[in-house]
């Protein structure tokens, strides 16, 4: 009875689909790394999420900057004579309000750039005893460990599997402890926000 109720739960299905997609991506990464073990680090599959994040940071900054010139031209050229003072005040107000938006985009780009340059390990290398205690198989791909990683929460996964997971999630796949920063835009998604001002 409990099992049938649990199976109908929407969170069960979403978690199950997350594990399936992570498993498929993990298998793809493992097969790709076996074919070309000497690939340069910038073309390694683990860096793809960082590259996507950097491209999104550039895109958002560009979209924010691109609207400045037309708006300033419109505001300064729409008033003539003594009304030009209104145009100057409106332009100053526009630049002040635009400043906070630009600063947040620059901060995102700076963070993405530093993450791109860092080769930060997600966790540490587990000992053989820790691997035996955890079991000989990765909980995500259900295969034997391929370069195992011990997370802060003491769970062990394949490096490829858990890297794929962290491209979409911030938490451990088993205990949901927060491990990494916000994974936004690392899976290639983009912001659909239209810059109107």
CA-based nearest residue to 182, from 172, 163, 160, 167: 167
Q: Last residue of a domain, which of 120, 154, 175?
A: 120
Identify the domain containing residue 131 by its residue range. 122-190
Question: What is the tally of structural domains in the chain?
Answer: 2
Query: Which tokens go with 52?
Result: 């996507």
- Residue 180: per-residue pLDDT: 77
Average pLDDT, the chain: 76
- Per DSSP, helices labelled H in 118-168 are 128-134, 159-166
Does residue 161 lie within any of the structural domains? Answer: yes
**pLDDT, mean of residues 77-106:** 91
Strand, coil or helix: 156: strand
Predicted TM-score of the model (pTM): 0.57
CA-based nearest residue to 92, from 78, 73, 72: 72
Q: Last residue of a domain, which of 102, 120, 138?
A: 120
**Is residue 79 domain-shared with residue 112, that is, in the same domain?**
yes
> Do 23 and 158 touch, CB atoms closer than 8 A?
no
Q: What is the pLDDT of residues 50-88, one digit of tens each?
A: 788 889 899 999 989 999 999 999 988 988 888 899 999
Confidence of residue 11 (pLDDT cuts 50, 70, 90): very low
* Residue 115 predicted with pLDDT over 60: yes
- Residue 20: per-residue pLDDT: 47
Confidence of residue 1 (pLDDT cuts 50, 70, 90): very low
* Other residues' Cβ atoms within 10 Å of the Cβ of residue 144: 11
């Amino acid at each position: 009875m409990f099992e049938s109720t649990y199976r109908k739960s929407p969170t069960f299905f979403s978690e199950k689909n997350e594990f399936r997609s992570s498993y498929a991506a993990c298998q793809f990464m493992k097969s790709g790394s076996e074919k070309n073990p000497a690939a340069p680090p910038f073309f390694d599959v683990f860096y793809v999420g960082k590259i996507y994040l950097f491209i999104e940071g550039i895109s958002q900054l560009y979209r924010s900057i691109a609207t400045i010139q037309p708006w300033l031209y419109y505001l300064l050229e729409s008033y003539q004579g003594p009304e030009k003072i209104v145009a100057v005040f409106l332009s100053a107000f526009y630049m002040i309000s635009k400043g906070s938006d630009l600063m947040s985009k620059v901060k995102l780009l700076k963070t993405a750039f530093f993450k791109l340059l860092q080769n930060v390990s997600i966790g540490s290398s587990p000992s053989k005893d820790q691997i035996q205690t955890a079991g000989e198989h990765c909980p995500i791909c259900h295969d034997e460990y391929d370069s195992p990683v011990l997370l802060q929460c003491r769970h062990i996964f394949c490096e490829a599997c858990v890297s794929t997971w962290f491209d979409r999630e911030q938490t451990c796949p088993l205990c949901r402890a927060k491990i990494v920063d916000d994974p936004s835009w690392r899976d290639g998604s983009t912001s659909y926000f239209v810059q109107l001002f």
